[in-house]
Structure 1
Amino acid sequence: MDATGDGTASSTTPMIRLRGLGKRYDDGTVAVHDLDLDVPRGSLTVLVGPSGCGKSTTLKMINRLIEPTHGTIEIDGRDVTGLDATELRRGIGYVIQAVGLFPHQRITENVMTVPLLLGESKKVARERAEHLLELVGLDPAAQGRRFPHQLSGGQRQRVGVARALAADPPVLLMDEPFGAVDPVVRVRLQEEFGRLQRELGKTVVLVTHDIDEAIAMGDRVAVFAEGGRLAQHGSPAEVLAHPADAFVADFVGAERGLRRLSVIELTREHLEPLDGVSGGDVEAVVDLGCTLEEALATMLRHDQPRVAVRDGRVGFAGVLTPGGLHKALRASLADSA
């Protein structure tokens, strides 16, 4: 175990380390097969795969809602397989698709639950609850006084995230957190949670069956296959560019070339000169650092053969053409290899 001299885990130690982790049920069913997985500190790692592949079981073993048959679970450099399960869970945020809010409590009281269990005063717990509601985009003075049934599905999901963060846990586990809301709200929640995770620096493990959600949200993507086998673990770009086997290639789909557009940032190396054309002469404009997907969408929306690329420091940096898009995709293949 990688630790500092004072007994605390070093910054290079993964926040979560699973070694030989497995779950076999009494009837012989293998839910998770000898899993080795490192989750870096401050990262958002997505477990993705078809139904019944062991991803949710893995998530529940991390906080001991399901006890592993064998293997070890380390959190922050400490083996937690022998700890009291209730105490362990109080230090880990947990968000599920059904949210699980207490229907008889107002929203603010729902978020206050864990801090109160941990011994905080009502005043401190309420202040933290109100702060977290604001952080997830809810008004404590309005939505905070309502009961769960008085909120929309998207609002309830935000409350679930706020409640999971209430004890300020270093680790947040999320099981299909956005699956119960409509597609438009889902995309908005994904984007807002991504911003929140970057701001707070929490280590997040998120389960989904949706490869697009995995690619859009994850710093790391772990693809699970049937039988609880980890088929591939890497960055979204690596998984899309170089599937480890036929199963992963089939799961990420024939559209993986298009999906790579969403994980590649537009850089100067992809651009061609403006050739005397000012930014004002080009209808389609994007900013340096946007994704290739955003650039292509802008190109198509304006029905233009190129887009002008704006650099906030120096004006316009150049133009992106279809040839530049192809060049960028080829370069990303080489980089990920």
Structure 2
Amino acid sequence: MIRLTRVGKTYPDGTVAVHELDLEVGRGELVCLVGPSGCGKSTTLKMINRLIEPSSGTIEIDGRDVTTSDPVTLRRGIGYVIQQVGLFPHQRIVTNVMTVPLLYGESKAVARERAESLMSLVGLDPATYADRYPHQLSGGQRQRVGVARALAADPPVLLMDEPFGAVDPVVRVRLQEEFLRLQQDLDKTVVLVTHDIDEAVKMGDRVAVFADGGRLAQYATPAELLARPADDFVADFVGSTRGLRRLAVTPIDPALLEPMDGVTAGELGAAVDVDSTLEQALAEMMRQDKAMIGVKDGHRFVGVLTPAGVHHALRASLR
């Protein structure tokens, strides 16, 4: 869906912001760009919609080189969400969300219907919030409006630059989970910039770690990144707790569960859902002070997870 080939950005003073970057993002994939400040991740994002022009290389969306496209037309077909949201303060919330459809020539009635539908989708009741102004909303609510506005033209590509960075940690977690739920339904191709490795491994199907000088240090799934850092820089960046982080990105594998034969209800305590992560299962096991925990698919037990099973699942996730 998105392909960057030997893309570079060098400024007139000789500063290299991005160095010959090769990167592919599959259709419907959510890719996180992460790295220290000044490593070129936001520059890369802005080159995709040509808010910054690349110095070299090609950027393709669906096989079309966007560096030869009209930049205004290009941007209208790409959703863009930034940390500070960028809502028009003098316009009501529903009007903010209607902006791009109106630019495309949609009637006000159709654009408003689309805007109200999207507001509901991101958890803002139009009856309550449509006629409010941005200053009347919390930071988390304004961020939701920003996402709704970016989706208003139903773009196949969504670019997000530190979208949840301006809100408190509790709201941030809720927004992350809400967006992941939306992504399951919308199946957009998303490139998300963050400085937070925990956010990157939670959100991303794949994670691109940038090093100083605009160099791509590693591009991998969260599980592979945490288990097999490409070099000392990546290992230091993901941190010494990367082993624990792997638990949060590794799902339970039903094929590796132990059978229920001979296990009593008293040994198990409460069960976890088969869609849980190893972290969730292990946390529940420790909370209940049990040596094992049952795993359910709906109302049916599918097996038992033990600490040894957690270890086997971690090893199997990298085969």
Q: 3-state SS of the aligned residue for 1:231?
A: strand
State the partner residue of 1:100: 86
Q: Is 2:155 the partner of 1:165?
A: no
1:148-183 Cα deviation digits (max 9, x unpaired): 010011100000000000111110000000001111
State the partner residue of 1:322: 307
Q: Which runs of 5+ in 1 are unaligned?
A: 1-14
State the partner residue of 1:290: 276
Give 1:58-73 correspondences, 5 Å limit: 58-73=44-59
Q: Which amino acid aligns with 2:190?
A: V
Cα separation, 2, equivalents of 1:273 and 1:135? 40
Deviation at 1:283, TM superposition (A): 2.0
Cα separation, 1, equivalents of 2:265 and 2:175? 33
Judge conservation of contact 1:19–1:71 (CA < 8 Å) in 2.
Answer: yes
Q: Which amino acid aligns with 2:45?
A: L
Q: Is 2:247 the partner of 1:264?
A: no
Q: Is 2:135 the partner of 1:149?
A: yes
Cα separation, 1, equivalents of 2:40 and 2:254? 42
Judge conservation of contact 1:279–1:285 (CA < 8 Å) in 2.
Answer: no
Cα separation, 2, equivalents of 1:143 and 1:215? 32
Judge conservation of contact 1:48–1:208 (CA < 8 Å) in 2.
Answer: yes
1:85-120 Cα deviation digits (max 9, x unpaired): 111101100000000000000100000011111111
Q: Which amino acid aligns with 1:31?
A: A
Judge conservation of contact 2:267–2:292 (CA < 8 Å) in 1.
Answer: no
Cα separation, 2, equivalents of 1:321 and 1:270? 10
Q: 3-state SS of the aligned residue for 2:19?
A: strand
Judge conservation of contact 2:267–2:290 (CA < 8 Å) in 1.
Answer: no
Q: How many residues in Structure 1 have an aligned counterpart in Structure 2?
A: 319
Judge conservation of contact 1:266–1:291 (CA < 8 Å) in 2.
Answer: yes
State the partner residue of 2:33: 47
What is the TM-score when the length of structure 2 is the normalising length?
0.97
1:50-104 Cα deviation digits (max 9, x unpaired): 1110000000000000011111111111001011111110110000000000000
Deviation at 1:281, TM superposition (A): 5.9
Cα separation, 2, equivalents of 1:188 and 1:164? 19
Q: Which runs of 5+ in 2 are unaligned?
A: none
State the partner residue of 1:332: 317
What is the TM-score when the length of structure 1 is the normalising length?
0.92
Q: Which amino acid aligns with 1:212?
A: D
Cα separation, 2, equivalents of 1:69 and 1:317? 55
% identical aligned pairs: 75
Cα separation, 1, equivalents of 2:249 and 2:201? 8
Cα separation, 2, equivalents of 1:230 and 1:65? 21
